[in-house]
Amino acid sequence: MSIKFKRCWIILISGFLVFCFTATGFAEGEEDKTLSPYFYVENGDSSVDNFPLEETNVTVNITGVIAEVVVAQKYKNNGTKPISASYVFPASTRAAVHGMKMIIGNEIINAKIEERQAAQKTFDTAKRQGKSATLLKQQRPNVFSMNVANIMPDASISVELRYTELLVPTDGIYSFVYPTVVGPRYSSQVEAKSPETDLWVKNPYLKEGALPHTIFNINSHVSTGIALQEVVCTSHKTNINYESDSVADISLENPEDFGGNRDYILKYRLAGEEIESGLLLYEGEDENFFLLMVQPPERVLPEDIPGREYIFIVDVSGSMHGFPLNTSKQLLRNLIGNLRSTDKFNVILFSGCSQLMSPYSFPANKENIDKAIQLIDEQSGGGGTELYAALKRGMDIDKDESFSRSIIIVTDGYISAEKDVFDLIHNNLNRTNVFSFGIGSSVNRYLIEGIAKAGLGEPFIVTKPEESNQIAEKFRQYIQSPVLTGIELNKWGFDAYDVEPASIPDLFAKRPVVVFGKYRNHAEGVIEISGQSGSGEYVQTINVSDTKPSETNHALRYLWARTRIAQLSDFNFNANSEENKAEVTSLGISYNLLTANTSFVAVREVVVNPEGHSKDVDQPLPLPENVSNLAVGSDMASVPEPDILILIIAFAFIAGGVSMFKKVLLTKPDFRKH
């Protein structure tokens, strides 16, 4: 057999094998495809409106320490075919969503709270029947999805949702944060095997710098009852109008300039830098609720603190490229560069894998600090975001028991496996304190705040480069020593029950102790908060009868229930147990609250789409400000998928083999003999 003949058959067989392999791989690729956000690509069908969310208007009313928020979304179909829209949007992790309504023309349909699967079934049935309907679901404590069915051409549907949250000051500063956009989440989960609650991760995004065809506006009203020293919006350009020394209105300076790609952050401080502490009471028809906020004591001196070990776990993944990573470098230079000589430290860098600076922590001398800063400065950002493995690696470093260990996680939080991280932190509470630094204009606050909550710590978030030094200094002061430890709550003559939290962790930040609960009978008796501060025993007593119940405190019932749900579901490590699910569902139904297990659904009992067919449209999201295309994937949108490339190569092999085979037949007539 000739060499050319053998070569021909080798090419043909190779091509056939590659084709079979890639064809099988291509078929299996759909089954093995992981959840992943993707860039929005125009489908070219002008009859379908791919940007149905026309505008979002937010109204914030802050009275004392409670914020009441109304979010109004307007959806309009500018195409020529019926559509059903899906929109993913964020919220505060502390938000107690207690109401929703759908508005079509002059008609208002109040939504009902139902068990999650039942609400989905109600919505799907209405959609199939051609009725207008809306469905609000919680995908994470800080990520919601809105589905709007059967928006007819030239028609619009408005949806309003209401929530309330408690504002707790730190170092005398109150902060209200309204997240505006959900950042892309890295996930290695297989899509076909992922739970329904994770499918939102696969959402379209616009390219870096591209703005959506939607309007965002927010107006805030602050009324404290105590003179305001300062009101400032650190995220957006605003106009601030003072109605009196304790009342201010805040509006966007240029609402036409799109501001829905970064968190809206409003901060205020009371005159004298005091904080509003004390007792709030609400008496309902069936239950009575209380909220106690107690001013903390002063700090101890830094020289009285024993040696400490700090392990910095730093995100260098693709979503951190540019501003977030540059800010992280600046932050870490500040933190590591100012450690005490008696401290120890280590550094772990993580993306798809992790890099450990040293197998053991070493003294914070100049030589070691310079090495760490150089290592961090060399990073440029790239790859996925595998936090869990990096955190476990940090936990497993040999510990010197004479040092107090703290792990500091620096990330934008764009991962989806949050509860695995919370579980790891929770299981190591007896040996490690864990703190979180969120870097970016729209971080995953569920992860950042959840890390702090699981680690009994405080979250720190840097939204701008110029904030890093200030917040680094704040963090150093924070972790130097606890403000109050061994905290106990005692009640005499005050019949309180269902108190949250059940036990009060050590207080690191200078912020009030916050306790929710219910009470029976009349508001009377005494509540005492006690603990150990740096200067000795601390005791504060509150006479309950000095406070009168007020109807204006009606939000306490929602806030108590939301706090209880958070303990059971948001950051709980047995959240998926049947017992916990049942209790969360019961609380959601009883208190009319959106939870992981309950959803709001509204149906207009009018058939507007007799055919029952509509095009499903996922509203594309803008990338958060200063987040690059690397957070989603390659910018080479025109390059085919890897599976397709392999398939093309396989066909090329076959084509090459066939071409050579024909050539042999034409030039070697005796070839047929072989």
For residue range 550-561, what is the model confidence (pLDDT) as tens digits? 999 999 999 999
Q: If DSSP codes are grouped into helix, strand and coil, which group holds residue 446?
A: helix
* Percent of the chain at pLDDT exceeding 70: 83
Distance of CA 637 to the CA centre of its chain: 27
Strands 204-205 and 278-283: unpaired
pLDDT > 90? residue 115? yes
DSSP class of residue 302? G
Name the residue ranges covered by the structural domains of the chain.
3-34+638-673, 39-272+594-618, 273-296+495-572, 307-480
How much helix, strand and coil, in percent to the nearest 5, is found in the chain? Answer: 30, 35, 35
561-588 residue pLDDT tens = 999 998 887 665 555 678 888 999 999 9
Q: How many CB atoms lie within 10 A of CB 672?
A: 7
**Segment of 144-148, 169-173, 184-188, 656-660 carrying the highest mean pLDDT:** 144-148
Question: Which value, to the nearest 10 degrees, does the dihedral of the CA atoms of residues 646, 647, 651, 656 take?
Answer: 0
Superfamily the domain 307-480 falls into: von Willebrand factor, type A domain (3.40.50.410)
CA dihedral 100, 104, 108, 110 (to 10 degrees): -30
Rounded Cα distance, 123 and 294, in Å: 45
Residues 6+ positions from 348 with CB-CB distance below 8 Å: 311, 312, 313, 314, 354, 355, 356, 357, 390, 393, 394
pLDDT digits (tens, 9 = 90+) for 325-338: 888 888 888 888 88
For the segment 620-626, the average pLDDT, to the nearest whole number, is: 89
Q: Name residue, tokens 């703290």.
A: 406
pTM value?
0.73
CATH of domain 39-272+594-618: 2.60.40
Answer whether 480's CB lies under 8 Å from 305's CB.
yes
pLDDT band at 386, cuts 50/70/90?
confident
